[in-house]
């Protein structure tokens, strides 16, 4: 039974899950959130609500394009506004791949297209010592290493001022980070299991020097650890959503006070 099974419907925490691409769907997040007592509301980027009113958390998924590719994805300006709103209101946020890049951009960091940090398939991610005290990553800190599915060529190349780098790798420096008290970005895909790799474009992978069959085989070999670690990470984020009491991170402060680029944030809020 989930932790929310005995709660009235209007008291069950709801998380808005933004799907930026038909091929980058929520995957196993839906079942895991439900198991953790959180209701996921999955909406396409073109269907986003005006505000986060009525939501207790925000998850922004991947998409395969840059976080400011507004011509390609015209809903991005509003998704950036919702991201900033989550920071202002201290609504728990989990940004995945493109979602992490959106978070970094909105908070004053930099994202580089085709940064040279390309990763495909199951990859090793190293947790840093600071992760031990983090509400989402702390439960995994003793393992030291995560095995996560990756699928990106763009990456966060400069973190926002005041952000905490939680995980890294030899290929891509910014693997996981936290902004303020309750906003997390991860370059990897906890929502993706090895079965998703069979849907990847085999010819496109080959052009970049990757063998899809080999990627699938490697992901299947890592599947048990990957699922266990991903499930634990998602459950920990759900705990943050359910708790509403973030004093264990430190005394709540205005998140925007930690940003070096407040003017950039104001421009995003204005839709510029």
Active-site residue numbers? 97, 189, 191
Measure the CA–CA gap between 28 and 193, rounded to whole angstroms.
8
For 240-270, the DSSP string reads HHHH---TTTSS---GGGG-S-HHHHHHHHT
Residue 110 corresponds to which tokens in the numbers above?
């930099």
**Closest Cα partner for 126 from 239, 229, 29, 249?**
229
Q: What is the DSSP letter of 177?
A: E
Whether residue 124 contacts residue 90, with contact meaning beta carbons closer than 8 Å, is answered with no
What is the Cα gyration radius of the chain?
Answer: 17
**Closest Cα partner for 146 from 180, 182, 97, 186?**
186
Owner of token pair 């009113």:
53
Owner of token pair 């899809």:
212
- Determine how β-strand 110-112 pairs with β-strand 155-158: antiparallel
CA angle 130, 61, 166 (to 5 degrees): 5
Measure the CA–CA gap between 145 and 125, rounded to whole angstroms.
6
174 CB burial (10 A radius; 0-12, 13-18, 19+): buried
Whether residue 31 contacts residue 38, with contact meaning beta carbons closer than 8 Å, is answered with no
């Amino acid at each position: 039974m989930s932790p929310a099974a005995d709660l009235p419907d209007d008291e069950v925490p709801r998380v808005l899950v933004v799907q930026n691409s038909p091929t980058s769907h929520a995957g196993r997040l839906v079942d895991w959130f439900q198991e953790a007592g959180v209701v996921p509301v999955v909406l396409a980027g073109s269907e986003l609500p005006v505000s986060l009113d009525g939501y207790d958390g925000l998850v922004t998924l991947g998409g395969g394009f840059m976080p400011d590719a507004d011509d390609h994805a015209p809903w991005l300006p509003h998704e950036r506004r919702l991201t900033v709103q989550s920071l202002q209101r201290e609504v728990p946020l989990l940004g995945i791949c493109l979602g992490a890049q959106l978070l970094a951009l909105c908070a004053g960091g930099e994202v580089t297209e085709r940064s040279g940090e390309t990763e495909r398939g199951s990859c090793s991610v190293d947790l840093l010592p600071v992760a031990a005290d983090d509400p989402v990553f702390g439960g995994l800190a003793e393992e030291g290493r995560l095995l996560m599915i990756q699928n990106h060529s763009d990456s966060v190349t400069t973190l926002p001022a005041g952000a905490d780098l939680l995980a890294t790798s030899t290929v891509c420096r910014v693997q996981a980070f936290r902004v303020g008290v309750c906003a997390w970005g991860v370059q990897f895909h906890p929502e993706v299991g090895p079965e998703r790799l069979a849907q990847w474009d085999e010819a496109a992978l080959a052009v970049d020097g990757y063998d899809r069959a080999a990627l699938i085989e490697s992901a299947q070999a890592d599947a048990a650890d990957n699922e266990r670690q991903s499930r634990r990470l998602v459950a920990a984020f759900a705990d943050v959503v359910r708790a509403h009491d973030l004093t264990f991170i430190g005394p709540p402060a205005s998140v925007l006070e930690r940003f070096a680029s407040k003017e950039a944030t104001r421009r995003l809020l204005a839709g510029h």
